[in-house]
Structure 1
């Protein structure tokens, strides 16, 4: 990230903080009061010392009010220092909470190709780890950077009022530590950025290896998975070590420089005391100020190191937020009561990757109520056809018409609401069995959910669970068998019967007996409804009104089972191969 990008990211963070003006004002006011009290204490200490070392006696009359004032200032300062972090934390966590929510909302609105291009582990790392690290960085800005800057300014003004010569001595020497810190911070930034990138890769490998643990064991890929993790872990370790090394040498280097400055100021102050132009109390005050003046530089140097890491994390979060939303081409909504189910593909062209066409010049007409089976080898474009129909991806050219109206004239939400979809890969959310069946229809009654489960032949096994429909499902339903998870996914479609159906190997993980029962339910459900079925089993394909044979993104054959078998073309060869395998 260039300096311009860093400044842009920092500016955006400041703008986010300004969205909480009341907290920001209170934080600034609290920081000013804290600094003013902190700077005032050395003045009182110097005055007290001058009363103690006066010639011949201790001036108790003048010392008592000074000590009383010191006590009040110290107590008040302690209260302010307790209150300020509460304000800083509240503002920081609310800001990062909003930023994290914006990132998650954006992930729900970006085109699906952005999700496809980024690993789940990397996106999860941005929302969790990067957001947390950014929160730590912002907290340091207020706890150390802001207070440090104010301390420097107020201390310089106060020293100038006390003694200009000593002030110039302190001011001229102390910035040396900041220059050294900035030199080191510039070199540590790139390693902090590499650290966040490799952490995302590491999170991806860990997530995949845990979620797909059975697959790893099945194919005995422990060693390969371990090697990949070791490589990513080593890269993360190396980048982390370099980043931490550069950031860790900042504090000791600046402390050494500050100690040398402290010694020089003490020497010059002692010389002036011997000459009678300076008092011991004033030297004590200036030594306290030298320490107060140099300490913020140490804090600022630490913040500069952490700020590099925080900016790198913020950049990754803003990268998601800056993505272009999925463009809504239409604003009309489909009228559920008038949907017939006629679907036309008119010279459709589509590709996932530019200059690598998948579907070209696809034309297809499906009449209302037709049952369409889509077959073909892996990668032929079967699922892509469904994705385009559901408007998960936009066409490169051509049109898809629903009841002779381009689907782009309607909102995506209203188009997708017309379809019920069951995929081969099941997905369950964390919640109860009831919640999972009613997913998308949270107001569904228990009676409606039970009827849907019975239609999907899932009611029997659900009632055998410890809490029936209130049984909690966690970890994507790992506690359930694959077939049971698929039955729950099928039950969703029966909660609110749609106008059109899409079934993508919907019964692939179900036993033969249950599949026959489910198929009977589907046959009843598909009666009079336009249905698209991706299937490999002959029993499912034979009953279709229209079979589309796809290969390399094109429909190479179409017709019913009897006609296609008589053609003895690609479809015939597929069926012969399956029968020989069976």
Structure 2
């Protein structure tokens, strides 16, 4: 099969199986129905070989006596037919019931996964591709529940046969029963040996499936960037590598698990030969009748059938267990810190005084980012946060929103520690406009009203006008009812950003966070949006993260951050006069281009 990475062993195969069984047991009424009807079905199927054996003896004895009692034979065959029809009806009923059980399990797992995803911290999604998480919620849950639907009835039926068949065998011949049972350890040994080698390969198969889905999601989401920068060949090469890995892991898993089928077939034929030889000797000795040996051989087949079914389903079962492990890993992931029991009336009416008091935070334990930060914003103030990339600007507002928990210190709003306030209650008071716009599939009006679904059309239009988005919206084919079919939806980057700004206007927040909110609009639109922002910020505490310093000159306080620390703060003019880090940033953006232009103009006549 060629070389490959080291096999990743299943973390807890037995534990995963027990959890899957616990999921099945949740649907107790349907499970009890399946088991109850299954017992009746197995009893009927166990009775049929004995009945047919009696029919065989009736024919042989009648022929030896000179006449067959066809009336009795008809009654025996009629009973066998009725039992066969009843077992068929039970099989159909159990199949439908188990299908409902499997889909109910899928329904509950998806709901649990949805609740879990909502409760996970941002750090969980920061540390793994989105496609990997999506694969667990979709592919792995589907694989697990479909397998449960396909194998549950067979497993229940097989276990009942493995219990009932030896009992019927013992009533015919304890010696032949011993011959059959002796081969059982060989079957269990083959199952164990093959299972230990195939399970890690199935785990690799589904892990690689997650990687492939993650890469495909990235390539589709960033299709324009991939094409623009000429990275399609590289993306195709990565896809080919993941696809080849998936192919190899799947072939290995299926090939190894597929060895169990031939092994079971060989052991089955070996058992059949032993029974036939030993049974023939007993018939010749007069210890058994022809009908009894016929019935026993049929019971031998019924005893082997569950083992052969297990062999046929072995790979599928192991694949489902591997998917189950991935699903349970998601469901067991550590959630964000529990919500506090908020004090009555906490943040009922926010004035907007925000304070960062000796705040420390790091994403990785050995890489400090923010250390002992102090910062205060008075009600109604506009605080601009500037600094180089990686200084901690966006992290600062993420901490205020409680997307992450602090390592030390505290953040207060109106003197209330935000860690003692429910996240939802806190975030209802905060409006946020990000640099990366996000629109969902729906109308323009629904996207604007995302934070206030109950808003009237008049309120939506007023918010759009305040954000200077009303004009372009009315030029769309269906105006505010134009459907955005994807994150882009035919809108330009600037138009999408105006929609998100209108969304912030509509929720009327007490605290406003603008993270490069005008970075994707043209200069003229930026001026219009800035006018709207002035109106939006009036009476609200605002945090504005900006790289273009021209957009934050009117801020009450400009905070300069470097390496997670506030190195300078104050109004624009004061910081310029101080000649510190802010003045250097400002000079880098404005002064140097002007000097270069002046030098170019001065040098032009000399070159002429």
TM-score w.r.t. the length of structure 2 is: 0.92
Contact 1:362-1:554 within 8 A present in 2 as well: yes
- In 2, distance between residues paired with 1:529 and 1:220? 45
Post-superposition offset of 1:425: 0.3
Give the alignment partner of residue 288 of structure 2, picking from 278, 281, 290: 278
Match of 1:17 in 2: 24
**DSSP 3-state at the match of 1:361:** strand
Structure 1 CA distance for aligned equivalents of residues 529 and 230 of structure 2: 35
Q: CA deviation digits over 1:309-351, x for unaligned, max 9?
A: 2222112111122223222245236556632111111111110
- Match 1:371 to one of 371, 376, 382: 382
1:390 to 376, 379, 401: 401
1:130 to 140, 148, 173: 140
Q: CA deviation at 1:94?
A: 0.9
> Does residue 455 of structure 2 align to residue 448 of structure 1?
no
Kindly report the root-mean-square deviation, in angstroms, between the aligned alpha carbons of the 2 structures: 1.9
Q: How does 1:460-499 map to 2 (within 5 A)?
A: 460-499=471-510
Task: Name the CA distance, whole Å, in 2 between partners of 1:61 and 1:372.
Answer: 101
Cα distance between partner residues in 1 of 2:348 and 2:340: 23
The structure 1 residue matched to 2:342, chosen from 326, 331, 337, is: 331
> Residue 63 of structure 1 aligns with which residue?
73
Gaps of 5+ in 1: none
Q: Of 411, 434, 444, which residue of structure 2 is paired with 1:400?
A: 411
Number of equivalent positions: 582
8 Å contact 1:126–1:200 — kept in the other structure?
Answer: yes
Counterpart for residue 148 of structure 1: 158
Are 2:431 and 2:508, in contact at CA under 8 Å, matched by a contact in 1?
A: yes
2:49 aligned with 1:38: no
Deviation sequence 1:200-254 (CA, Å, 0-9, x none): 1111111111111111111111222122222222222211111000111211221
Alignment of 1:223-234 (within 5 A): 223-234=233-244
Distance 1:562 1:552 in 2: 24
> Counterpart of 1:500?
511
Question: Normalized against structure 1, the TM-score is what?
Answer: 0.96
Q: Is the 8 Å Cα contact of residues 103 and 145 (structure 2) preserved in structure 1?
A: yes
Q: Give the match's secondary structure for 1:439.
A: helix
- Unmatched 5+ stretches in structure 2: 1-7, 595-608
- Counterparts of 1:544-559 in structure 2, within 5 Å, are 544-559=555-570
Which stretches of structure 1, 4 residues or longer, exceed 6 Å deviation after superposition? 1-4
Offset at 1:3?
A: 8.1
Q: Secondary structure at the match of 2:310?
A: helix
2:419 alignment partner, SS class = helix
**Residues 533-580 of structure 1, C-alpha deviations (whole Å, 9 max, x = no match):** 111223311111100111111111111111111111211111111123
Partners of 1:406 and 1:335 lie apart in 2 by 10
Distance 1:147-1:509 versus aligned 2 partners, 3 A rule:
same
The 3 A distance-change label for structure 1 pair 393 and 330 is farther
Using the TM superposition, give the Cα deviation of residue 22 of structure 1 relative to its aligned residue in structure 2, in angstroms: 0.7
What residue is the counterpart of 1:191 in the other structure? 201
Matches of 1:344 and 1:85 in 2, distance apart?
62
Q: What's the offset of the Cα at 1:284?
A: 1.6
CA contact (8 A) 1:174 1:258 kept: no
Aligned partner of residue 438 in structure 1, secondary structure: helix
Distance in 2, matches of 1:225 and 1:538, equals: 36
Map 1:281-292 to 2 at 5 A: 281-292=291-302
Q: Which secondary structure state, in structure 2, belongs to the residue aligned with residue 400 of structure 1?
A: strand
**Alpha-carbon contact 2:265-2:308 (below 8 Å) kept:** yes
Distance 1:333 1:430 in 2: 37
Looking at structure 2, the residues matched to 542 and 247 of structure 1 have their Cα atoms a distance apart, in angstroms, of 68
Residues 75-94 of structure 1 show CA distances to partners (whole Å, capped at 9, x for unaligned) of 11111111111111111221
> Which is worse superposed, 100-109 or 299-308?
299-308
Shift of 1:523: 0.3
Query: How far apart are the structure 2 equivalents of 1:491 and 1:75?
Result: 67
Residues 333 and 8 of structure 1: is their aligned pair in 2 closer, same or farther, counting only changes over 3 Å?
farther
**Mean Cα deviation higher: 456-465 or 534-543:** 456-465
Cα pair distance change 1:76/1:581, threshold 3 Å: farther
The verdict on how the C-alpha distance between 1:373 and 1:239 changes in structure 2, with shifts beyond 3 A counting, is: same
Judged with a 3 Å threshold, the aligned counterparts in structure 2 of structure 1 residues 30 and 465 are, in CA distance, closer, same or farther, namely farther
Aligned to 1:317: 327
